[in-house]
Amino acid sequence: MSDDQATGIEPFDAVDVIRAKRDGGAVAEAPLRWMIDAYTRGYVTDSQMAAFAMAVLLNGMERDEIRVMTDAMIASGERMSFAGLGKRTVDKHSTGGVGDKITLPLAPLVAAFGVAVPQLSGRGLGHTGGTLDKLEAIPGWRAALSNDEMFTQLRDVGAVICAAGSGLAPADKKLYALRDVTGTVEAIPLIASSIMSKKIAEGTDSLVLDVKFGSGAFMKDVDLARELARTMVALGTDSGVSTTALLTNMSTPLGLAIGNANEVREAVEVLAGGGPADIVELTVALAREMLTLAGQPDADVDAALRDGRAMDVWRAMVRAQDGDPDAPLPKPRETHTVFADAAGIVTRMDALPFGVAAWRLGAGRARPQDPVVHSAGVDLHAKPGDRVAVGQPLFTLSAEDGSRFARAIEALEGAWEIGAEAPASVPLVLERITA
């Protein structure tokens, strides 16, 4: 607290900060730091911060402004440290998509090489699934760990996937909720500072970002996704965290499973040396990126999937959080399969409608307080490029209540096509972005 604040006098005025950004100017460091702090304290009102967020959406921010805002958000709470761990730490963050269960096989795979993976994850909202929701399909597994439990698990097991504590970047939590109801979610400086304030506060040595584009991604446009990736890589670099990003395609669902329990099942298949080719490809690409940042560019990632080392870490990681890796996963009460009405090649499966369908079946939530149904979701039997015959299963919907099928099928109207020619091959990983 400054001397002015101690006497009840604020050193800056929110209206001046709003006007500066409204008129397209850059906000100086001191007033910008004050704005974030004063909002966290409740001095700056929601309406004032909403006006500022809209000005940022319309006029953008310079790199130094984004760095200052991110740093101010970090300073609003605690900052973790893994300095006494005796291992290099590396984390991964995905901007989210449909069928994106990559964290589940990735964390134990990287940890199999003696690197610590502190993966603070979140819950799903809308059509994008949450990593914690998926893992809670495992009987007994718990997301909430104390900092001491997290440190012990990183030391003994090497990987932890858990909920972020409320002490990390509380300014972000408050601003995130405001953005959601004021039409400012899409502002790249605000997205970047939101993600990176939490990741930098987490205290990891290095960070790999999986920034997605396409119909099932938060950023549909590849150029905007690239801008977001570059902004976040710059923020990490400026804060002393070695950061790189992969720009990855989310036009088609990842893998064959969309939901919670079924995505856990698919992740375990990958750890057992199998699984869908696209899940394996992205898991391996991100693992190589993470291990390169952790000083092991020549690590044989494929071997660790084949020989069971990654599976051993997975089982230990689940057990350390009171889960039973051998327990059966929840199964749905009702299923409904959709069959091909024409012969040919699947040319398109849009990710977004399949994500919405899984959400409507109960796999996601409309409000943060809503529960998820772990057994609900969609299982694909064919993907673009696959040849199908008339009457062959295309996908199966799962739910606890069969009355949910009609709205899920409604979401999938026009979401796939069967044609005569195979679609053009599109790379899953489009490019690598570094500082």
CA distance 195 to 336: 38
Active site residues: 93, 172, 179, 194, 198
Inter-CA distances, 97 with 126, 129, 220, 240, 249, Å: 11, 7, 11, 28, 10
Which of 118, 144, 207 has its CA nearest to residue 434?
207
Which helix (H) or strand (E) segment is 94 a member of? strand 90-94
Inter-CA distances, 273 with 224, 287, 301, 325, Å: 35, 15, 11, 17
CA distance 360 to 126: 9
Inter-helix orientation angle 309-320/147-156, to 10°: 160
Whether residue 244 contacts residue 209, with contact meaning beta carbons closer than 8 Å, is answered with yes
Structure tokens that stand for 117 in this block: 């993976």
Structure tokens that stand for 89 in this block: 């730490």
Strands (E), 173-310: 206-213, 242-249, 257-259
Gyration radius of the chain over CA positions: 22
CA within 13 Å, CB half, 117: 31
CA distance 259 to 355: 8
Whether residue 150 contacts residue 118, with contact meaning beta carbons closer than 8 Å, is answered with yes
CA distance 395 to 336: 9
Inter-CA distances, 208 with 154, 182, 189, 364, 432, Å: 18, 30, 19, 26, 10
Which helix (H) or strand (E) segment is 234 a member of? helix 222-238
CA distance 168 to 164: 7
**Is 14 in a helix, a strand, or coil?**
helix
Which of 393, 378, 383, 391 has its CA nearest to residue 345?
383
